[in-house]
Amino acid sequence: MRFGLSEEQTMLSDMLNKYLVANLPLDVVRASSEQTLHHNQEIWSGLLDQGIHSILIPEDYGGAGLSMLHSEVVSETLGKHIVPVSYLSNAVLSPLAILYAGSESQKEQLLPELASGSTSFGIALTDVVANRENTKLEINGNKVSGSATFIMAGENADKLILAAPGTLLIVDTKAAGVTMERLNTVDKTRDFSAVTLKDAPCELLGEIGSADDAIEKLLNAARISIAADSLGAADAMFNQALAYSRERFQFDRPIGSFQSIKHILAEMITDLEPCRSLLWYAAYAYDEVEDEAKLVACHAKAHISEMAKHVGRATTELHGGMGFTDLLGLHFWFKRIEVNRQLLGGPELQRHNAAVAQGWAPNAITAA
Residue 368 predicted with pLDDT over 90 = no
All domains in the chain, ordered by first residue: 7-116 (1.10.540.10), 121-205 (2.40.110.10), 212-357 (1.20.140.10)
pLDDT the model gives residue 134: 59
| Residue 88 binned pLDDT confidence (cut-offs 50, 70, 90) | very high
Residue 101 predicted with pLDDT over 90 = yes
pLDDT the model gives residue 268: 94
Beta-carbon contacts of 130 under 8 Å, excluding residues fewer than 6 positions away, are 345, 349, 366, 367, 368
Select the more confidently predicted residue: 321 or 91.
91
Question: What is the phi/psi pair of residue 299, to 5°?
Answer: -60, -40
Residue 272 predicted with pLDDT over 90 = yes
For residues 157 and 148, give the distance between their C-alpha atoms in angstroms, rounded to a whole number.
15
Which whole number is the average pLDDT over 215-242? Answer: 97
Q: Read off the pTM.
A: 0.94
pLDDT the model gives residue 129: 85
pLDDT the model gives residue 135: 64
| Residue 113 binned pLDDT confidence (cut-offs 50, 70, 90) | very high
| Residue 367 binned pLDDT confidence (cut-offs 50, 70, 90) | very low
Residue 214 carries which side chain, given as an amino acid letter?
Answer: A
Tell me if 122 sits within 8 A of 130, measured CB to CB. no
Which whole number is the average pLDDT over 9-37? Answer: 95
HEC letters along the chain: CCCCCCHHHHHHHHHHHHHHHHHCCHHHHHHHHCCCCCCCHHHHHHHHHHCHHHCCCCHHHCCCCCCHHHHHHHHHHHHHCCCCCCHHHHHHHHHHHHHHHCCHHHHHHHHHHHHHCCCCEEEECHHHCCCCCCCCEEEECCEEEEEEEEEECHHHCCEEEEEECCEEEEEECCCCCEEEEEECCCCCCCCEEEEEEEEEEEEEECCCCCCHHHHHHHHHHHHHHHHHHHHHHHHHHHHHHHHHHHHCEECCEEHHHCHHHHHHHHHHHHHHHHHHHHHHHHHHHHHHCHHHHHHHHHHHHHHHHHHHHHHHHHHHHHCHHHHHCCCCCHHHHHHHHHHHHHCCCCHHHHHHHHHHHCCCCCCCCCCC
Question: What is the phi/psi pair of residue 348, to 5°?
Answer: -65, -45
% of the chain exceeding 90 in pLDDT:
82
Tell me if 64 sits within 8 A of 275, measured CB to CB. no
Which whole number is the average pLDDT over 117-128? Answer: 91
pLDDT the model gives residue 328: 87
- Report the chain's mean pLDDT, rounded to a whole number: 92
Across 68-77, 124-133, 322-331, the highest mean pLDDT is recorded for 68-77
* pLDDT (tens digit per residue) in 138-154: 999 899 999 999 999 98
| Residue 2 binned pLDDT confidence (cut-offs 50, 70, 90) | low
pLDDT the model gives residue 364: 56
Which whole number is the average pLDDT over 54-63? Answer: 96
Which whole number is the average pLDDT over 314-327? Answer: 87
